[in-house]
Chains A and B, each alone.
Chain A
Amino acid sequence: MLRIIATRVVLGILTLLAVSILIFAATEILPGDVASAVLGQGATPETLRVFRKELGLDRPAHVRYAEWFTGAIQGNFGKALTNKRDILTSITPRLKNTLFLAGYAALIAVPLSVALGILAAINEGKLADRLANIISLATISVPEFFIAYLLILFFAVKLRYFPSLSTVFADMPLSKKLHVTALPAVTLTMLVAAHMLRMTRSSVLSIMSQPYIEMAFLKGLSRTRVVLTHALPNAAAPIITVIALNLAYLIVGVVVIEVVFVYPGIGQFMVDGVSKRDLPVVQACGLIFAGAFITLNTVADVLSILVNPRLRHPV
Chain B
Amino acid sequence: MAETVLAIRNLRVESITGTVLVDDVSLELKPGEVLGLIGESGAGKSTIGLAAMVYARAGCKITGGTVEVKGANARTLDMEARRELRGRRIAYVAQSAAASFNPAHCIMDQVCEMPVQHGMMPKAAAQAWAVELFRSLELPNPETFGARFPHQVSGGQLQRAMAAMAISCRPDIVVFDEPTTALDVTTQIEVLALIKKLIKEYHTAALYISHDLAVVAQVADRIMVLRGGKLVEQGTTEQILMRPQNEYSRALVADRKASDKLSVESTAQRGAIVLSVANAVGMYGNFTAVKNVSLSVAHGETLAVVGESGSGKSSLARLIVGLLPRSAGTVTFRGRELSSALKNRTKEDLRKLQFIYQQPDVALNPRQTVGEIIGRPVQFYFDRSPADVAKRVAELLTQVDLPLDYAQRLSSALSGGQKQRVCIARALAAEPELIICDEPTSALDQLVADGILKLLKHLQDELGIAYLFITHDLGIVRRIAHRTAAMLRGEIVAEGATAAVFSPPLHPYTERLLASVPEVRADWLDEVLAHRA
Contact = CB atoms under 8 A, between A and B. Distances in A.
B152 A313 contact: yes
Interface string A201-227: 000000001111011111111100100
**Of A220, A221, A310, most B-chain CB atoms within 10 Å:** A220
Contact of A212 (B102, B114, B151): B102
B86 A220 contact: yes
B94 A211 contact: yes
Contacts of B12: none
A210 B99 contact: yes
B94 A310 contact: no
Contacts of B152: 313, 315
Interface string A183-202: 00000000000000000000
Given A310-B151, A313-B149, A219 B87 contact: yes
B86 A217 contact: yes
Contact of A309 (B99, B104, B117): B104
Nearest to B90: A218
A230 B85 CA distance: 20
B101 to A, nearest CB: 6
Given A218-B87, A219-B86, A211 B96 contact: yes
B132 interface: no
B88 A310 contact: no
A233 interface: yes
A265 to B, nearest CB: 39
Contacts of A234: 102-104
A222 B105 contact: no
Contacts of A215: 92, 94, 100-102
Nearest to A209: B58
Interface string A275-315: 00000000000000000000000000000000001100101
A148 B420 CA distance: 60
B245 to A, nearest CB: 34
Interface in B10-57: 50, 53, 55, 57
B83 interface: yes
Contacts of A309: 103-104, 149, 151
Contact of B57 (A214, A230, A315): A214
B84 A220 contact: yes
B83 A220 contact: yes
Given A309-B151, A313-B149, A217 B102 contact: no
Nearest to A234: B104
A210 B57 CA distance: 12
B104 A233 contact: yes
Contacts of B151: 309-310, 313, 315
Interface size class of A (residues with CB under 8 A): 20 to 34
Interface residues of B, number: 32
Nearest to A233: B104
A310 B149 CA distance: 8
A242 B102 CA distance: 23
B519 interface: no
Interface string B240-262: 00000000000000000000000
Contact of A220 (B57, B88, B101): B88
Nearest to A218: B92
A51 to B, nearest CB: 58
B118 interface: yes
Interface string B158-174: 00000001000000000
Contacts of B84: 220
B87 A220 contact: yes
Nearest to B83: A220
Nearest to A307: B104
B113 interface: yes
Nearest to A235: B104
A220 B152 CA distance: 26
Contacts of B92: 215, 218-219
Name the residue among A210, A218, A225, A313 with the largest chain B CB count within 10 angstroms.
A218
B113 A221 contact: yes
Interface string A103-139: 0000000000000000000000000000000000000
A213 B432 CA distance: 45
A30 B104 CA distance: 52
Contact of B100 (A211, A221, A313): A211
B340 to A, nearest CB: 28
Given A218-B55, A225-B117, A212 B101 contact: yes
Interface string B67-87: 000000000000000111111
A42 to B, nearest CB: 64
B202 to A, nearest CB: 18
Contact of A222 (B83, B85, B94, B149): B83
Contact of A219 (B50, B82, B103, B114): B114
Interface string B138-181: 00000000001101100000000000010000000000000000
Interface string A221-252: 11001000110011000000000000000000
B194 to A, nearest CB: 20
A286 to B, nearest CB: 40
A218 B53 contact: yes
Interface string B407-423: 00000000000000000
A258 to B, nearest CB: 40
Contacts of B102: 212, 215-216, 230, 233-234
A303 to B, nearest CB: 14
A215 B92 CA distance: 8
A310 B117 contact: no
Contacts of A225: 117
A229 to B, nearest CB: 8
Interface in B310-368: none
A220 B117 contact: yes
A7 B88 CA distance: 47
Across the A-B interface, the 9 shortest Cβ-Cβ residue pairs: A220-B87, A220-B86, A233-B104, A211-B99, A219-B87, A218-B92, A215-B100, A220-B83, A212-B102
22 contacts: A211-B100, A212-B99, A212-B101, A216-B102, A217-B86, A218-B55, A218-B87, A219-B92, A219-B114, A219-B165, A220-B83, A220-B87, A220-B88, A221-B83, A221-B117, A233-B102, A234-B102, A234-B103, A309-B103, A309-B104, A313-B151, A313-B152
Interface of B: 50, 53, 55, 57-58, 82-88, 91-92, 94, 96, 99-105, 113-114, 117-118, 148-149, 151-152, 165
Interface of A: 209-212, 214-222, 225, 229-230, 233-234, 309-310, 313, 315
Given A218-B55, A220-B87, 11 more contacts: A211-B100, A212-B99, A212-B101, A212-B103, A218-B50, A230-B102, A233-B102, A234-B102, A309-B149, A310-B151, A313-B148
